[in-house]
Amino acid sequence: MFKSTLNYFSSMRRSYKKLLLLVLDLCVLPVLMWAAYVIRLFDLKVGVMTGLDFWPLLVMLIAVGSLWLMGIYHAVIRSFNENFILRLAAATLITMLCLYVVAKTRIAFVPMSIPIIFAALMFGWVWTSRAIIRIVVNNALYSHIPKARVVIYGAGDAGRQMAVALNLSKDHIPVCFLDDNPNLHGLTVEGLKVYSPYQLELLQKRHQFNEVLLAMPTIAKKRKNEIIKHLEPLGVKVREVPSFSQLVDGHLKISDIKEVDIIDLLGREPVPPVPELLARNIDQKVVMVTGAGGSIGSELCRQIIRQQPQMLILFEMSEFSLYSIDKELRGLTQIKIVPVLGSVFNQKKQYRIMQQYAVQTVYHAAAYKHVPLVEANPLEGLRNNSAGTAKSLNAAVAAHVETFVLISTDKAVRPTNIMGASKRLAELYCQAIAAQQPTTKISIVRFGNVLGSSGSVVPLFKQQIAKGGPITVTHPEVTRYFMTIPEAALLVIQAGAMGEGGDVFLLDMGDSVKIKDLAAQMIALSGLKLKQHADDDGDIEIQFTGLRPGEKLYEELLIEQDKVQETSHERIVKSFEKQFSLIEIQQVIERIEQAYQGSDRQDLDWIITRLEYFVDGYQRGKEIQVN
């Protein structure tokens, strides 16, 4: 009966709720005035505001009018905050001043202490009554809803805001704070005690929390990684609030809480870009990006428009990808965007576009990147990655483009697969063309895996965790270098600006990461436990499926370790590598075109034999077939 009554009142229209509170105050406030006189003289039969028969009406008018004026009846009971306290204090102050006016004008007998006593009682009543209503409603209506018990890591501004928001939540309850600052340990913030992070195990036994919320929006990535590592053994879910730069109004809400992104943990602290390098090939120039709808191509476009080009041409084979990036960019800038649907294998079309718009800089990001797929479709991979690059570069040179930048990969170094070998052949073609002509400055930028790209393991692992596992990893010892897409795009632009002709630039990828460890960390961040053995109590296991066709245990960036040179950027180095004549490389490119048209096994065999000769370390795989 009680619960159903509460449900009825809770579901009423907002205007009816206001009316109920107003009626409640109208009934109680005159009683509080009587109580103020009783407190003053300790006499229950004391006269109240003598000289005025209708004093209850005057009290109602003054007190309720002050509360209404300050918006107390417009406040949502579930959202008490500092603003509500200030408005309530202002309303009580106005009431007190009005009572002093009544006393001075002798409308009624009001001793000088009565306005102060009444104001205190009024403040206490309004605050306490709303608090009791909130507690009763929450306990009666939402007690059946299981609540996540949350520890807030960080007792600063963000942590305090989240504590307030969580207290108002129906499905979360904050239990305590953690903070690295020893001066805060033992103190109480927003009703919650602050503890040292080193007391985590004790706190888990005491509070049985199942989630940790990182409320430190300005924390460095290195420190965040350390905290995550410290939390992993607890098997609790870890989430975080966004950085202040991501918040629009500066006020944190429950909806602002997000999952800790593994990309943020693997990514490094950004190095400030060199403005001169960023602007050199872009500022007020006509820029073209091939593969503009891909992971790297689209991020290049986002970074390029920030450098204020005269025009940006998007060249893309996929209609949907081109539509998506074109729509996104048009919402970000007034710079002229020209979407062009086409294949890099169409040299005539590329030349026409470059000449028509007087293109000055080309970033060639179009490529097939998935190793097993290219291994199973070698001619398509060679045509797109090698011959397609040759066609794009030929068009750029013929159209007198100033700068051509090839986006390459660490898989081009001693490759064990067609994808890597095709990219290395593209590099060799660029170097050979650079040696033959001085007009177009040609650069090659080589780097490893980018986090969050279409070929990244991170999205795959997220899907597998969401399904309850298992997570599939090819080999226990497989390692990869990782870089965030924005960092890679910025470094590509800066590296390309340093090119003089045929240069190979390598991006510093930091430390390599074991894919097995990456999978384990993603499981821990989800609040799940790694299942080590078939009979343990873990949640998700890691299954090793074996290396895929053409896959390596580890990747490299350098073919010859001793032939490198530092550049003006701390994360970019220049490599000097073996080159071949243009005639030799052109023969292979032409044969790729012939083989693609005829799908002749003999052509493919000849091409692979030449790849084994030109590309250091490459040997054909057993799975290669003509598709």
- Three-class SS of 396-408: HHHCCCCEEEEEE
Comparing 40 with 338, the larger pLDDT belongs to: 338
Contact residues for 147 (Cβ-Cβ < 8 A; gap 6+): 169, 170, 171, 172, 173
Q: Is residue 577 part of a domain?
A: yes
What's the chain's length in residues?
Answer: 627
Highest mean pLDDT among 141-150, 216-225, 519-528, 608-617: 608-617
503: left (phi over 0), alpha (psi -120 to 50) or beta: beta
280 DSSP 8-state letter: H
pLDDT of residue 79 exceeding 70: no
Alpha-carbon span 138 to 133, nearest angstrom: 8
Q: What is the average pLDDT score of the chain?
A: 81
Integer-rounded Cα radius of gyration of the chain: 35
Q: Are 569 and 277 in contact (CB under 8 A)?
A: yes
Comparing 455 with 358, the larger pLDDT belongs to: 358
Residues 90 and 172 in one domain: no
pLDDT of residue 143 exceeding 60: no
Alpha-carbon span 414 to 618, nearest angstrom: 6
Residues 196 and 302 in one domain: no
Q: Is residue 351 part of a domain?
A: yes
Q: How do strand 441-447 and strand 403-409 relate by DSSP bridges?
A: parallel
Residue that the structure tokens 């096994």 belong to = 601
Highest mean pLDDT among 437-446, 516-525, 617-626: 437-446
Q: Is residue 529 part of a domain?
A: no
For 352-373, how does the pLDDT look when each residue is reduced to its tens digit (9 = 90+)? 999 999 999 999 999 998 888 8
- Count CB-CB contacts under 10 A for residue 561: 9
Residues 418 and 494 in one domain: yes
Beta strands in 52-160 (DSSP E): 148-153
Q: Is residue 462 part of a domain?
A: no
Q: Are 544 and 476 in contact (CB under 8 A)?
A: yes
Lowest mean pLDDT among 186-190, 285-289, 527-531, 587-591: 527-531
Could you tell me the two tokens for 415?
């490759």
Q: What percent of the chain lies above the pLDDT cut of 90?
A: 21
Residues 85 and 60 in one domain: yes
Global confidence as pTM: 0.67
Comparing 257 with 410, the larger pLDDT belongs to: 410
Q: Are 140 and 134 in contact (CB under 8 A)?
A: no
Provide the residue range defining the domain that includes 194. 148-260
Residues 136 and 152 in one domain: no
Q: What confidence score (pLDDT) does residue 601 get?
A: 65
* Number of domains composing the chain: 3
Residues 185 and 94 in one domain: no
Q: Is residue 265 part of a domain?
A: no
User: Which domain CATH number covers 313?
Assistant: 3.40.50.720
Average pLDDT over residues 473-499: 82
Q: Are 349 and 434 in contact (CB under 8 A)?
A: no
pLDDT of residue 626 exceeding 80: no
Q: What confidence score (pLDDT) does residue 248 get?
A: 47
Residues 497 and 596 in one domain: yes
Average pLDDT over residues 139-147: 56
pLDDT of residue 10 exceeding 60: no
For 426-442, how does the pLDDT look when each residue is reduced to its tens digit (9 = 90+)? 999 999 999 988 899 99
Indicate the angle between helix axes 319-330 and 295-306, nearest 10 degrees. Answer: 20
Q: Is residue 218 part of a domain?
A: yes
Average pLDDT over residues 70-85: 67
- Count CB-CB contacts under 10 A for residue 329: 20
Residues 154 and 181 in one domain: yes
Q: How far apart are the first and last CA of the chain?
A: 73
Residues 316 and 393 in one domain: yes
Could you tell me the two tokens for 407?
């986006």
Q: Are 499 and 442 in contact (CB under 8 A)?
A: yes
Contact residues for 475 (Cβ-Cβ < 8 A; gap 6+): 544, 546, 547, 553
Comparing 570 with 231, the larger pLDDT belongs to: 231
Domain boundary among 96, 118, 142: 142
Comparing 549 with 246, the larger pLDDT belongs to: 549
For 577-598, how does the pLDDT look when each residue is reduced to its tens digit (9 = 90+)? 788 889 999 998 988 888 877 6
Q: What confidence score (pLDDT) does residue 624 get?
A: 57
Domain boundary among 142, 164, 190: 142
Cross-strand pairs, 400 = none
Q: Is residue 532 part of a domain?
A: no
Comparing 22 with 390, the larger pLDDT belongs to: 390
Residues 307 and 412 in one domain: yes
Q: What confidence score (pLDDT) does residue 2 get?
A: 45
Comparing 172 with 139, the larger pLDDT belongs to: 172
Highest mean pLDDT among 74-83, 305-314, 411-420: 305-314
Alpha-carbon span 461 to 368, nearest angstrom: 22
- pLDDT tier, 16 (very low <50, low <70, confident <90, very high otherwise): low
Q: Is residue 286 part of a domain?
A: yes
Average pLDDT over residues 170-192: 85
Q: Cis peptide before 470, with omega less than 30 degrees from 0?
A: yes
Q: How do strand 258-259 and strand 237-240 relate by DSSP bridges?
A: antiparallel
**Measured on CA atoms in the order 20, 23, 29, 35, is the torsion positive or negative?**
negative
Comparing 213 with 559, the larger pLDDT belongs to: 213
Alpha-carbon span 324 to 327, nearest angstrom: 5
Domain boundary among 260, 287, 307: 260
Q: State residue 401 phi and psi, 5-degree precision.
A: -65, 140
Residues 165 and 56 in one domain: no
Q: What is the 3-state secondary structure (H, E, C) of 447-492?
A: ECEEECCCCCHHHHHHHHHHCCCCEEECCCCCEECEEEHHHHHHHH
Residues 417 and 309 in one domain: yes
